[in-house]
Amino acid sequence: MTGRFITLEGGEGTGKSTQIRRLAATLGEKGIATLCTREPGGSPGAEEIRKLLVEGEPGRWDAVTETLLVYAARADHVARTIGPALLTDTWVISDRFNDSTFAYQGVGRGLARETIRRIDSAVLDDFAPDLTLIFDLDVKISLDRAMARGAAENRFEKFGLEFHERLRQAFLDIAKRSPERCRVIDASGSEEQVAEAIFAAVSRRFDL
């Protein structure tokens, strides 16, 4: 069995981190080797860049600088973590990938989609996830969850409700734009219900 690349996308506080662990455990029970990772981050160099992106005040970077930092981290992540794992037939499950850039820096911060697409093409060429699960949840609920964590990595939570409403719609639009790759997951249910919906989507996509 060849390695597969699965990404989980969505706004802050939608429960992606919890569900990544559950999905990896379920796949492991079926004898599938998995690697859980995240963006920004996922490799030593990318984790250093992560600190620049997720800590501090909203105005720390403009949209272009922010996007370039994201793709610098992503290039290292793919080269040092994702790519090597896939070559060993490991399934890689990532908390965010390039869809987040089109949502956050594109729709959220107003950077032209074509500008991001050109950077994306230069960095990733045609590399893309095999399946993307987009977590959808009421923005007020998700932000309350995110802020309750009280973590230092809260820069994007500070952008405000309107910004996050745009993000939610952006992710739903991405799902409509790429229906063959994306599945929308209702993240409002219980942890168990969400996990079942995720595994059902993964099973259908890969004939498990």
- Give the tens place of pLDDT for each residue, 61-99: 999 999 999 999 999 999 999 999 999 999 999 999 999
Per-residue confidence (pLDDT) for residue 186, from 0 to 100: 96
Per-residue confidence (pLDDT) for residue 178, from 0 to 100: 97
Per-residue confidence (pLDDT) for residue 204, from 0 to 100: 97
pLDDT reading at 146 higher than 80: no
| Placement of tokens 């697409």 in the chain | 117
Q: How confident is the model at residue 42 (pLDDT cuts 50, 70, 90)?
A: very high
> What is the pTM assigned to this prediction?
0.93
Reduced to 3 states, what is the DSSP secondary structure of residue 37? strand
Half-sphere exposure of 11 (CA within 13 A, CB side): 33
| Placement of tokens 């037939």 in the chain | 89
| Placement of tokens 């089109």 in the chain | 102
Instruction: List the domains of the chain with CATH numbers.
Output: 5-206 (3.40.50.300)
Output helix, strand, coil percentages for the chain, rounded to the nearest 5: 60, 15, 30
Average pLDDT over residues 168-181: 97
Average pLDDT over residues 32-45: 97
**CA distance linking residue 172 with residue 13, whole number of Å:** 16
What φ, ψ does residue 152 adopt, rounded to 5°? -70, -25
Q: At residue 88, what is the residue type?
A: T
